[in-house]
Amino acid sequence: MSSSSSSSLKIGIIGFGTFGQFLAKTMIKQGHTLTATSRTDYSQHSLQLGIQFFRDVNEFLEADNDVILICTSIISLSGVLDSMPISSLKRSSTLFVDVLSVKEHPRELLLRKLPEESDILCTHPMFGPESGKNGWKDLTFMYDKVRIRDEVICSNFLNIFATEGCRMLQMTCEEHDKLAAKSQFITHTIGRTLAEMDAKFTPIDTKGFETLVQLKDSTMRDSFDLYSGLFLHNRFARQELENLEHALHKVKEMLVQRMSDVLGTEKTA
């Protein structure tokens, strides 16, 4: 029987890696019933969490889920959707939710590849296993109700995050991607640049430098699949990368200019 009349949901997770498992723990704690499927066999780990794991995606889809929660990498989403036997869905009116860190890309794919009867909610929890390890209070949860007919299921799902104290923020996928290219993508790019420079703690660190090393460490914990997805599937990211290069070039020019000014003054003195 569907659980649409109660606040307890049956949620099936596709992509049970780092982030899928992180979300699952809170959902279990709240009393939702979870199942999962993934490329890798997480049967043992799922058992410990009290989650039924399906190696067979057909069987996973045949389970009567209220929500299918997509937690795969950005770059694998298209292939994952193509390999899903959608006709095995027990209920074609299922709510599909994605948590990818880019939004226009899943929105477009889900609208194109899912049956017309299925509802679509595109979301981005703006936190992860590190920033959310002590709870989700005051952390931002972005969402866009792309195609919602069953408002009850949708609001029950959103309540998972609202009841944990998240700052719930509704905005379009386009607006999200514009802002995320300026903020999250640049953060990850600086973090990875610092890693290329092998930035590490020294005995004379300022607080500012400690923050940079922490930034490097936290961005390097995320997979390169995640980082490259932020670039490949956000149409605003390339411009921001160019802006960053341009800004670094300008700062260097200011220093070179100052150096020639100082040298010029010394020569004429």
- Where do contacts with ligand NAP occur on this chain (CB under 6 A)? 15-20, 38-40, 71-74, 76, 79-80, 99-101, 125, 128, 222-223, 225-226
Least Å distance, CB 244 to ligand NAP, is 21
State in angstroms the smallest separation of the CB of 152 from ligand NAP.
25
Nearer to ligand NAP, 15 or 32 (CB): 15
Q: Please, what is the minimum distance in Å from the beta carbon of residue 208 to ligand NAP?
A: 24
H or E stretch at 13 = strand 10-14
Taking CB atoms, the residue at the shortest distance from ligand NAP is 128
Report the half-sphere exposure of 188 (CA within 13 A, side-chain side).
21
Q: Which is nearer to ligand NAP, 89 or 142 (CB)?
A: 142
Cα separation, 148 vs 127, in Å, equals: 25
Residue with Cβ nearer ligand NAP (3 or 191): 191
* Closest-CA residue to 11 (of 59, 70, 58): 70
The smaller minimum CB distance to ligand NAP, of residues 94 and 219, is found at: 219
**Exposure class string for 40-51: b at 16+ Cβ within 10 A, else e:** eebeeebeeeeb
Instruction: Give the C-alpha separation, 239 to 246, whole Å.
Output: 10
CB of 258 to ligand NAP, least distance (A): 40
Nearer Cβ to ligand NAP (73/118): 73
Q: How far is CA 63 from the centre of its chain?
A: 25
For the bound state, the minimum distance from the C-beta of residue 247 to ligand NAP, rounded and expressed in Å, comes to: 26
Give me the amino acid identity at 51.
I
